[in-house]
Structure 1
Amino acid sequence: MKPAVAIVEPKTPGNIGTIARAMKNFGMDDLKLVNPPEFGRDSEAYGFAGQAREDVLPNYDEVTFDELIENYHTVGMTATTNEDASHHVRFPFKTPRELAESLQDVTTDTVLIFGREANGLTNEELSRIDEVCSIPASASYPALNLGQAATVTLYELRTLTVEETQLPDVSRERADEAEIEGFYGAFSDLLETVGQPTEKHEKNMRMIRRVFGRAHPTGREIATLRGIVRRANQRASASDTPRTSRNDK
């Protein structure tokens, strides 16, 4: 079930628009605002919302914090967490990826609650929330701005909200083994033409195989590379052919 997204007392309309846009990006559409500033069609909220200005943003619900607690399974987002279990306000917590996994089979209405730009959610608010989520970041500067935090979180939760686009099957895109072997043969011929020492030939070819084995080149890529190697071999062969001088005529 798609979670709703709530912002508590946002100060900047631009952040509201940024989060609405992230919601649109990752398949969410239920935006809740707790005590928001006034904003209209000419505000930064609509300017930053992109295509979300047509549906997500104008359809937001203004609610109270109490209404979120009473009607939803609540997930409080915070950058500051406790280090151990001796305090339970901000501990234990999940990362956004762990949260996505835990919500996979949950059918209860869920809301992700983001706090204020300056100081996030208070301890009192977090004490009333069902679970806590935090984004792992550098200990020297763990606080992301509101728009960044929402975008990262909603990206991780996309498995709950977006049908993954059909990606190409890499195993089918990879060049046929015969095509790759043909490239190896052309490269081996080039090594011989340029006078690569015989004792190094086997080692060099093994390295080439390992490189291309990891790369999984496509048919077009391997054909292009084989053509380049073939032309290089032809040039190298031509440069080794003795030229007839005028005195030989």
Structure 2
Amino acid sequence: MIDAWLYPALTAVAVLTGFIDAIAGGGGLIMMPALLVSGVPPIMALGTNKLQSMCGTFVAMSNYGRKGLIDWKENLPTALLVFAGAGVGALLVQRIDTRTLSLVIPLLLLANAAYVLLSPRMTDEDAHQRVSSRGYAPVGGAIGLYDGFFGPGTGSFFTATLVGLRGLGLTRATALTKFLNWTSNVASVLLFALGGKVLWTLGLCMAGGAMLGGWLGSHTAMKFGARLIRPLLVTASIGLTIRLLWGWFA
């Protein structure tokens, strides 16, 4: 049973996490501990967090799309593989212990932060692509599986690989990340819902906050571009690394 005052409190937290997710990802760094501290069981917290994240990401994605920053048709094959991967991941996480991942993923997040910080590609200028949109699809599918199974850092992984492999400018990569992340969230929510692992009333309250945060965050990212997105990506990656390592050793 969740205390009544936690509904508006967690909705307010969702505004902040929706804002962060719309720009750099990593809102789960704040939302998941908030849900757990509120007494929500871990697997229910995962499902409920996916619901609010899906709604917030949808608003951010829509804003980026209206500005012409997302090529829906070209990236549909990747989105379909992301959807399938996330569905498999959401099934697995309800059956497998994720503790080992919480030690491996920090290493990937640190590598991701170093790439974002040091790579000359991390600007708003498009660069030469190393793989086509179809060639990137398996990479997207693998990240989608990870998102459904575990999740922290998914947005950062999408953005960094879209810049590094697809040659997209940072703002365009962030926009496409929202499309792919929303796709993985939809698959995860469907599987968590079928497993009865979503607190709907709480999740929908939080979704309202996440949608406001997503609207504010996406407009802010489009206004300031790479000079805002790049430091937030690094901060999110390092913050997630510290949080996961703390969770492991604690």
TM-score in terms of structure 1 length: 0.22
Q: Tell me which protein shows more strand as a share of its residues.
A: 1
Q: Tell me which protein shows more helix as a share of its residues.
A: 2
Q: Whose radius of gyration is greater, 1 or 2?
A: 1
TM-score in terms of structure 2 length: 0.22
